[in-house]
Every structure is written in C-alpha cells, then in structure tokens.
Structure 1
Amino acid sequence: MSNNIQWHKVLDDKNKLQEGRVVTVTAGHKDLCISHYKGKFTALDNKCPHQGGPLGEGSIEKGLLRCPWHGWDFCPHGGSSGDYDDGLETFELKVEGDAIFVGLEEEGPHEETVTDVMVETMVNWGVNRVFGMVGHSNLGLADAFRRQEDKGKLKFIGIRHEGAAAFAASAYGKLTGKPAACFAIAGPGSTNMFTGLWDAKVDRAPILALTGQVATQVVGTGNFQEVDLVRAFQAVAEFNQRVEHQSRHTELMTLAIKHAILKREVSHLTFPDQVQVLSAKGAKAQTPKGRITSLTVAPPQEQLDEAIDKIKTAKRPVIIVGHGARFHMDRIVQFAEKLNCPIMTTFKGKGLISDDHRLGCGVLGRSGTPVASYFMNEADLLIVIGASFSNHTGITPKKPIIQLDFDPLAIAKFHKIEVAVFGEISRTVGLLNETSEDLAKDKIDQTEEIVARWEIWRAEKQKRLAEDRGKGISSIYVFDALTKLAPENAIMCVDVGNNAYSFGRYFESKDQSFLMSGYLGSIGFALPAAIGAWAAVDNERPIVAVAGDGGLCQYLAEFTTLVKYKMPIKLIVLNNNELGKISKEQRAGGWDQWATDLVNPDFAVYAQSCGGFGIKVHRQEDLKKAMLQHFENDGPGLLEVEADVKLI
C-alpha cells in the first residue's frame, strides 16, 4: 500500500446502505460511488464513462450497476463493463467498526489556473465585490472567487436571481464610482442580467459582467444552454470578449476593468468551461500600477474665462446639480455659499445637498418641489453641473446656461447652451472658487426667498397630510413620517412608480444618499440595489429600500438574501394592490383602466417566514410607532403600509 494514501471517512454507518443499493459519497474533492452487493462494499469512480452520469444515483439490477442516465451496466465490485474497455476505476476501501473509509492518493498542492490569476488581477484593481449565482458552467471561475474570499480579499454574495446580481452591482457602481462584478452561468443565467446591465449602462455606472460559457467546441450547435454570449452582449457591453486558450489572460482582465472605470461602462468577459481550469503556467496577476492616469483634468482656459464672465454679469444665478456631481459637492457648496446661490438637484441627484441647508431647494422636475421650480424660473443664469437634461428634470432651455461636465458628449447633448465647460468637476469648481470673491459682487441674496418658499411648500404639505379617503394611508403621510424617523445618514434605495414620485416630492433629505434606476426606470430596482449598497458600506451606514408592491414582487425572493447575509436593510413597501402609476397613465391618456390590479401576499408575514422582521400597518395613527420599531430592529426587516393609490 502506498505511503501517500489518505483515508477519508465516507459513511458513518455501513448498515444504512442496504444490500443491493449504491450511494454517492465525497472523499476530499472527489465524488465516489459506494456499492453494497452480496455483502461486499466497493468504492468506484462515480462518473459513467459515457457522459459522466452519477452512478451513485443508479441501481443494481440483475447483478449489474446501471447508470441512471443511459442504462450502461458495470460490475458493482470490480467496475468492469463486460465486453467494453471503458470500465470504472476502483479505490481502496476499509471498514472500521460500522464506518467505511476510502483511501485516495494524497492531493498535491493546487495548481494555479488562468481564472485564479484573472480574479487576483481583478482584486488588485479593487474589484472585490461579486454578486451572482454559482452553476455548472462557471464552477472553475467560482472556485477562483472562493480562493480569494478565503484570503479575505473578496466578498461573494450569492443571490436568488441573476437580474438582482446585475442591479446590485449597478447600485454599487452608482454609489462608489467603482465597478463591482455580477456573475452567472451560460445561457439563461447570463441573459437574466441584461436589465441590470442596461441600468448601469444608461446611468453611466461602471460594472463588470463575468459569465460562464459552454465548451467552445459546441458553441453554435444548439447545445444545452448555449447562447453566443459575445454576440448577445454586443449592444450592452463597451468591452466584450471571450476568454480563449491563447488569451493574455491577466491583460484581458486589466483591459476590461480599465474600460469599466474610464468609460463608466459595462465590461463583459465570458469564460468557456474548458478555459476556466487551464494552468496559469506561471503567469502573474497584474496591478493598476502604471496602467491608469489621473483624471483631474482642468478645463480649457477660454471656456473657464467665458463662464467667469457670464457669472459676473448674472444677478440671480442658480446651480442645478445632477448625479454626476455626487463626488464633488463640498466644492460646489463652497462655491454656492460665496455666491449665496440656490442649489437644486435632479431626481437622481436628490440629497446631494440637504434640504435643511440654507441654499438647498430640493428636487427639480416631475418628482420635485415647487421650491426648486420657482428659483429656476426666477433665475437669470443656470449653472448646471453633472446633470443630463432629461425630460423628467425639465431644465428649461429658455434660460442662459453654463454647463460643467467631465463627459464632453454630455455637454449640450440635447440643445444649444451659452457656455460649455469641459473638465473634471472638482478641479473646475475649484478654479471657479479661486475667483468667487469677484464673482459674488452685485448678486441678489436669495437666502430669505428660499426660507419663504420652503414655508409655502411646507404649509401646502400640511394641507395634504390632512387628506384621508378611508382607503389606506396617503403617500404624503408615509414620507412625512420617513422624513422624521429615517436615519440621517442612511442610503435610500428607491424603486419606480408613484412611490418614487412621492418620495422625491415629499421626503426632505438630510445627509442621506439616494440610489435609483434613472434613465432606464426599471421596476424592481430598490431591493437588489440595497444589497449592492450594503456590499459597499457593510454596516457602517443604515440602508433603507422603498418600493411599491409591483416593484417589490419582481425580486421578492431576495429578502432571503438579506437574511442569509444578516444585512440589516430596512424595506418599506407601499401596498395598494395596484400598478398605480400605470393606472394613472391609462386614465390620463383616455384609456380604460385595465390589467393593473395585483394580488399580493401578506408581505409582513412573508418577511417573518424568511427569518426576518415583518410588521404591517393599516391605520395612519399606527404608522410612526411601527416605523420606529422597524428602524430599531437589528436585522433585516420589512414594513408593509396599506396605501391609498390616489393620495400621492
């Protein structure tokens, strides 16, 4: 007997394996078939040589071990296949007491694969969060993730639907400006990610999509779960490559991540099954050192001078900031304070300045406040920073506009503007701040007007708070309560629909950050986005997700993901048993209201059944107490609010 044999206990009690039966066991990293026939136990290779059928799931018929897939027969003792030359390997077996042990050659050290060095390269670039689902066509890549997680360098979050993985990674990119990875098997697992990838693409969030693929030799043959993923991802991915045997593997990963970061785009790599386990042959992981440039680019001087001249002559300028300004607000607020200049935001930029700030005017547009729209209409100059001029925001082209942005394609995208300033936003606003003393001369101080307009709006909200049709709690009341009780530094994840419009209009922000599906406007975003936010901040900041019943049901099973990873995410669902926004659009368009009614579970009971906290509120007078209880609970939880579909 070899000195390198390692014995593995595979069965605690031999008596539980009946005479004439077989069972699959695992010894180390190897699956084996244990047979019990004529009083003898035998350890055999578990894979049928035909197509790898699991013999431990087969049966012994007429003295032969029969494969459960195609009925091939083998001797249950010696593995012989009769007249054929493809019998089964057998392994040493011993019985000690009632336990059965199998002896295998001691495993050698792990040999690094191409996926090992590619994943290490990914981690070296700071991409250390992966959302996805492990499956049969991505197991080699999944094992590379596992090795990095075992070293404490990567966090893998297993989700229940690949669409949620893509949304989570998109939200992570929106919040941090850095890419995370979403991960799926070939075929349906990969195509499930498309909506979340498009969300990232249109909102310019960096994201890395990693997909398994069937063996290259069967691509194009109609093989099981075979989809040409390079062609399928062509429209959504800026960088889109198949990993090949002869690829420069770590360079391929480096290029994918560089495209995601620098272009704020989708990068996709697909890994054929056989490539995932290729030897790295001594290849080393790459790092970003020497591979990426600083992005703090100053604007052309003539553009800056033109903007300065325009600001000098304005009496009532206002600043409008969008999601693209989210990492630069300290300098923007400093600039506004020197000008005593109102700041309003797009809906995607909600919360970039607190509504309590003396210059804060809330959200502009369809989800906005009359405070913001008043100051835009009264302004003689709009200074637009990191915003994209969507119809939803409604920035008027009738006013003189200075637009500052780090993306030249975003500048004057839809119509002519007066002054275009291309440069990194912090650098550009910093240069404006250096001249702001001169710029502040002869400006009308609008701070008292801001106070007055907020008073008018808050008085109007008080009137709306008194409305009660006896058909559920009004959204106005829900978001008024949320304003008072939500943690001031929370990350707020918003879905789409009437709940989102009401959220934008009635919730008054403090130091919260907000995440939403902006240009794509995808229903179902809020819950998976909260998972992405938690992966970015862990438990350092509270996370609140707000959804309607229609949106929540898109990814309702992800509540079990919250429970599995102990994510203390607070979910609030406004349940009106209707796709309320669509009903509203049908009525507004002169259509009959049709097919928008919903049948829902008891969401609070569902949350409890998953192992989380769940509470349901029917009456307005009970809402604040329930919401406080919800926020004070330590783990994942769900507050269900029976809402009035008309009071939005």
Structure 2
Amino acid sequence: MTTDALDWISVGRIEDLPEGRVKTVTARTTSICLVHFDGQWAAMNNHCPHQKGPLGEGSIEKGVDDKCWIRCPWHGWDFDPLTGKPPGGHEDTGQEMYPLDIRDGEIFVGLEAEPPHTRTVTDVMVETMTNWGVQTVFGMVGHSNLGLADAIRRGVIDKKLKYYGIRHEGVAAFAASAYGKLTGQPAACLTIAGPGATNLLTGMWDAKVDRAPVLALTGQVQTQVFGPGAFQDIDLQSAFQAVSKFSQPVLNSSNHAELMSLACKNAIVEQNVAHLIFPDDVQTIPSEKPAGAPDGRMAGTRVTPAQGDIDAAVDLLNSAKRPMIVVGHGAYGARDQIIALAEKIGAPVVTTFKAKGLVPDSHPLGGGVLGRSGTPIASWFMNEADVLVAFGASFSNHTGIALKENIIQVDYDRMQLGKFHPVKVPVWGEIGAFCDAAAGRINPNPDAVDQKPELAERWAIWRDEKQRRLAEEHSGGIHSFAIFDALGKLVPDDAIFAVDVGNNTYSFGRYLETKGSQRVLMSGYLGSIGYGFPAGIGAWAATQDVAALKGRKVISISGDGGFGQYPMDLTTAVKYGMDITHILLHNGELGKISKEQRSGEWPVWETDLHNPSFAAFAKLCGAHGQKVTKTEDITDAIQKALAVDGPALVEIMTDAELV
C-alpha cells in the first residue's frame, strides 16, 4: 500500500521525546512504541509478543554484544530500536513497524484505514444484557476488563447503556444494590480482577440479604496463568459463591449468550446477585453468535394465594375489633392494594424501617415506623391490636413485631412464612393478589373500634413531644429533630431518600414524617456504614432509566463517619451532573458506637473523628457546599441545596447526644 493511501495521525512533537528514549503513544486505538535513537525516529507495535508488555515503557540499553536494544520492562525481551527485530531473529520475525513522517516538528504515524469492528464474545454478551433490560453500568475500567469495557462502550455509543465511572468499586456495588432495590431490575457493576472484584463484596452482600437484583461483571487474569498465583489471580468463583445466586466463568467454549441470559434471569427472578468472570484473553475472541433475549423465558409474577388461606385470613379479619397492618420492604409492589385494604378494614398501617414511606405518615391510617428506629404511635397500636396482618415483613429482631396470637402473614417467599415462630394464618402468594382477593369479601366487625381518631390523637401527642425536645439544644450542636422536621417539610412528595447507618438513621426513622409517594433506601439487614451517598448515586441513575422515576429528587443522608467512607465519589456526582442533595450530620464521632459503649458500661474509646470542613470539600470537588451551625439557618440551607441542579451538600453541625 502506498503511503498516500494511509491515514496519517499525529502522535506528538519531536521535543516530546529526547534522544535515546522510547515512549508509548496512541494513534486511533493502536498502541505504538515511538523511538528516538541515533538521530533517527521509528514507530513499532507497542506490545511485546511474550505477554504484551508495553515496549514504550521500557528503555534502550546496551547488550552484551555492545549493541543497543529496546528492553521490554516486563520480562526483558530485546528488540532493535529502529527495525523491531529481536537478537538473532530471522527476517520474518520481530515487531510490526509503521511508516513515520515528521512535518514542521510534528510526528505523524501512517496507519491503514481502520477495518470494520470484529464482533466479539463480549459484544454478544453486552447485547444480551441490554436485551434483558439492563440499562446502567457502574464501574472502573482496568487492565483485565478492557475487552469487556470496549463492548460496554459500544453499548453506550448505541444508546443502549449508560455508564458511570466511579472512584471506588464499593460505590459501584452499593449504587447497583440501591438501583435494584428501587426498581426491581438489575444494574451492572464492572471491575478488574483481584482487588477490584473483592471491593464489590460488601455491596454484594447488601444486595443479597436485602433481595436486590444485581449483575456483577469482573475481569480476570488470562486463562494461561490461572491457578499458579499470577498477579491479581484469585479464585473469584469461590470468592463470590456465598454472596451470589449465580457465579460462572466465561470461557472460550462457553455458550456466551446463554451464560449472560442465565445471569440476568437469576438476578431478576431470584432478586439476587448474579456474577460473571471474564478472563482477559476470552473477552476479545471473535464471535458471530446471536445475542440472547428474555422472550419466552419469563412468566408473569402474579401468584394468587390458595383459596383456603384466603378464606382463613378473611374470617380472622372479619372478627377483628382492632386490626393492624405491618408493611415490610417486600410489599413495595402492592402499595395501592394495601392502602385500599387498610381503608376497608379501618386498620392503622405501620411499616418496618426498610419500608418507611410505603404508606405515608400523612395518610389518616399511617402510623409511622415500628421498632428501634420508630415512633411511639406504632408501638402503641401494636400493643392494642387483636389481629396483625404482616405484608412482606421478615419479623427480624430490629422490627419489633409482637408475637400476637392472631397473625396473618402474607409473602411471596415461602421460606419467610413462620420463619422464626408459627403464625395463625401463613399465606403464600403475591401480596397485591391477596389484597384484591380478600377486599371483596371483607365485612368488618360491627363492634370494631374506629381507630382514626386515636391515630390523630397519638400523632398530636408525638408531635408535641418532638417540639419539646428542641429545648434540649445547647452549645454542643443542633438537635436531629430540627433537621428532619425541616427536611420533611421541604422535600417533594415523591422524593427518594437514601440513608446511611448510625444515629442519623435512627433520627431519620423517628422524626421525618413521610408524605405522598416517597421512597426510602437503606442497607437493611447488612447495616453497612457508607451506604448512603453511593445509594444516592444508584437512585439518581434509576431516575434516568425508569419512566415512573424521572424527575424525582434524590436526597442522601449520612453522618460524618458514613460519608467519610467514600467521599471522593462526590467527584463522580459532579462529573455526571447527578442531581443529589446530601444532608450530612457532622458530630465529630461515631455517635451510635459511643452510645453503645456507654449503655454497655464500656469506656468511650476511639470513636472520635478528625474531619475536614465537608462543605469546603464539596466546593473543592465542584459541588454546592454549605455549612450550618445554627438551627434557624437549616431551612434556608436545605432550600438552596434542593434548588441546585446537580450535586449539593449541606453540612450540619449536630450534637451526638440529641438523636
């Protein structure tokens, strides 16, 4: 081919590379070792044929024969600086050389016209993933996932995927978990082998125990170095076995579309983690196989309970004088049917902390959160109830559901029914289907108590009590009630909250009154510190993908301990223009742990924190930041932050004792 037919691509200027040196440059996507030696210039393929070591990161060294050679920095293989030939090599061996031209001090390398892209194994798998409805990937591109990353890049170009590059893989995991909790559909998280993959594990446990669908895609070392202990080679299938429902390596002989289809189906149907391991050398194998799709592989999700169970539950409800409904996280899909049933039987509705907001506190039958993070209203009605109906609740020790004689438990997971103790009427089926089937046969007991006036009275008592607690403020900082009272009044009726763990979370559960169709995301069973802000990233991504969530405001909440886990991903929010308002309660310590040490009669030890000004940090990251030290300034600061079209952080100096 004549040089006129080549594409001449600039790779720098002559002053960029001194005599006797080599350098890696890129022309289009071709990696080139640029050479300046003995007054001459040369350009050769940058990849050493041994293990693709980068020759441009090596050096020109004199060999035992007094001849100078480019030495590969990985394993010491040598090549002639100007011809690319190895020592003693034959004429047909050595590095590929590229034409080079210097024009007015600018260096150009000639490449043949770029050939059409060769479809690969990972192209097939990414196409399959998007066919199954995966729309978002959180991740970090690295040396052992570059082939897969390029397939994802093509998906982004084709507008089938959105990609968010994070600063820590733990953020990718929590973001994907929160996305799954909010939508019921999986997002993917991408990492390299070794430490990148292991950094996912905490967030994957969060997804597993809270029943959130997630697709984990991890790079791996080349298959030729599996096993003997190569760099970053760990047994990822074993590492993810306990935390995933499905974990499989992608091999050259795999049915690649089917493997991705099974991963997606496991994540969606089991509401769990599915994990695929991509060896580096398998990612770019050519493939003309068709992509997979969910057509004909997914059935409807509505499971109607057995008629006998419905009959038993209706009989018990029709006899109740003081029925009460407890709603857990597993009932999110049946919000409207639960409210309709509650109104028909006149039952107060309380929620577990994980389900806060499902039935808003503003509803006449709303009774707030039950349990350690809850309201005295919920506890009072729990004590008075003669029949409890539990929807999608697990009866964990933190929830505080009383072991009443008459309990109706409805769940789509049969293992949850009577899991810790027998219940009067266990009902297996989809919660909305049960509510629809039962509602038409309800004939409330004529002697039933009208509980709405009691609910209004109890709310009035609790609201008076909350206001009185403001008098406890002193020089130690702002009372948590003042923060969450203001926040609850200012945020939209359809806001999405992502909360961390610690005293800030207990105060949020206790003091913030929900309204409208608000949603709350948290690290429920795992209770992992650091969850709040990454979950806000996941929630915001979901608002970009799901029509029903578009335009909804995302508010993340943490203490200074929680935000300190992954602070640099505030720059991720800035990079992608994520509209997240973060409320940071700064008390200078791990306040919940200090409290536990005191209550257990331990000395308070090593819970104090050395912090920067987080508001100033937010500004340095390119976000809105404001510090609040006085109660009277809270409303204005939150209003300003909510009005920002992008990431905003409000740092509020609080008293660790006033929760």
Say whether residues 1:20 and 2:25 are aligned partners. Answer: no
Pick one of 217, 221, 229 that aligns with 1:214: 221
Which residue of 2 is the match for residue 248 of structure 1?
A: 255
1: CA distance between counterparts of 2:50 and 2:496?
Answer: 54
Counterpart of 1:272? 279
Quickly say closer, same or farther: Cα 1:78–1:564, change in 2 above 3 A. Answer: same
**Structure 1 residues 32-86: Cα deviation after superposition (integer angstroms, max 9, x where no partner):** 1222234322111222334433222334445543444455443322223332455
Specify the code of the residue in structure 2 equivalent to 1:83: G
Q: Write out per-residue CA displacement over residues 132-191 of structure 1, whole angstroms, 9 at most, x where no aligned residue.
A: 111111111111111111000101111111111111111011101111111111111111
CA–CA separation in structure 1 for the residues paired with 2:445 and 2:496: 34
Spell out the pairing of 1:244-643 with structure 2 (5 A cutoff). 244-280=251-287, 282-436=288-442, 438-439=443-444, 441-511=446-516, 512-538=518-544, 540-643=551-654
Q: Does 1:183 align with 2:194?
A: no
- Cα distance in 2, alignment partners of residues 564 and 577 from structure 1: 28
Aligned residue identity for 1:491: I
Matched, 1:29 2:29: yes
Q: Is the 8 A contact 2:405 2:423 kept in 1?
A: no
Q: Larger deviation: 616-625 or 415-424?
A: 616-625
C-alpha offsets along residues 11-48 of structure 1, whole Å, 9 cap, x if unaligned? 35334433333322212221112222343221112223
Following superposition, the deviation at residue 621 of structure 1 comes to: 2.0
Partners of 1:19 and 1:440 in 2: CA distance? 95
Indicate the larger mover: 327-336 or 479-488. Answer: 479-488
User: Would the aligned equivalents of 1:384 and 1:404 in 2 still touch at CA under 8 Å?
Assistant: yes
TM-fit CA distance, 1:90: 1.4
Amino acid at match of 2:483: V
Paired position in structure 2 for 1:115: 122
- 2:154 is aligned with 1:147: yes
Report the alpha carbon displacement of residue 263 of structure 1 after superposing the two structures with TM: 1.3
Kept in 1: contact 2:624–2:649 (CA 8 A): yes
Q: CA RMSD in A?
A: 1.6
Structure 2: which 5+ runs fail to align? 63-67, 545-549
Report the Cα offset of residue 441 of structure 1. Answer: 4.6
The one-letter amino acid paired with 1:33 is: C
- Residues 4 and 105 of structure 1 are in contact (CA less than 8 Å); yes or no, is this contact kept in structure 2? no
1:636, CA displacement in angstroms?
A: 0.6
- Find the residue that maps to 2:353 and give its secondary structure: coil
Q: Which one-letter code corresponds to 2:568 in the other structure?
A: A
Aligned length: 646
Native 8 Å contact 1:382 1:401 kept in 2: yes
In structure 2, what is the Cα distance between the partners aligned to 1:440 and 1:328?
25
Separation in 1 of the partners of 2:524 and 2:148?
Answer: 32
Conserved in 2, the CA contact under 8 Å of 1:9 and 1:99?
no
1:235 pairs, out of 242, 246, 249, with 242
Letter in 2 for 1:464: R
Question: What code does the residue aligned with 2:569 have?
Answer: E
- Which amino acid letter does the alignment assign opposite residue 264 of structure 1? Q
Look up the equivalent residue of 1:480 and give its one-letter code.
D
**1:200 shift after superposition:** 0.6
Report the Cα distance in structure 2 between the residues aligned to 1:138 and 1:599, rounded to whole angstroms: 37
Contact 2:11 2:27 in 1 (8 A): no
Of 103-112 and 179-188, more deviation after overlay is shown by 103-112
CA distance, structure 2, for counterparts of residue 353 and residue 255 of structure 1: 35
Separation in 1 of the partners of 2:633 and 2:164? Answer: 36
Q: TM-score, normalised by structure 2?
A: 0.95
C-alpha distance in 1, partners of 2:624/2:121?
A: 43
Q: Which residue of 1 aligns with 2:547?
A: none
1:516/1:526 contact within 8 Å kept = yes
Q: Which amino acid aligns with 1:402?
A: I
Is the CA contact 2:3–2:110 (under 8 Å) kept in the aligned structure 1?
no
Partner of 2:241: helix, strand, or coil?
A: coil
Structure-2 separation of matches of 1:176 and 1:636: 22
Equivalent residues of 1:5, 1:103 under 8 A apart: no
TM-score (norm 1): 0.97
**Contact map agreement 1:213 1:271 (CA 8 A) in 2:** yes
Moved more, 226-235 or 59-68: 59-68
Once residues 633 and 474 of structure 1 are traced to their aligned partners in structure 2, the CA distance between those partners, rounded to angstroms, is 25
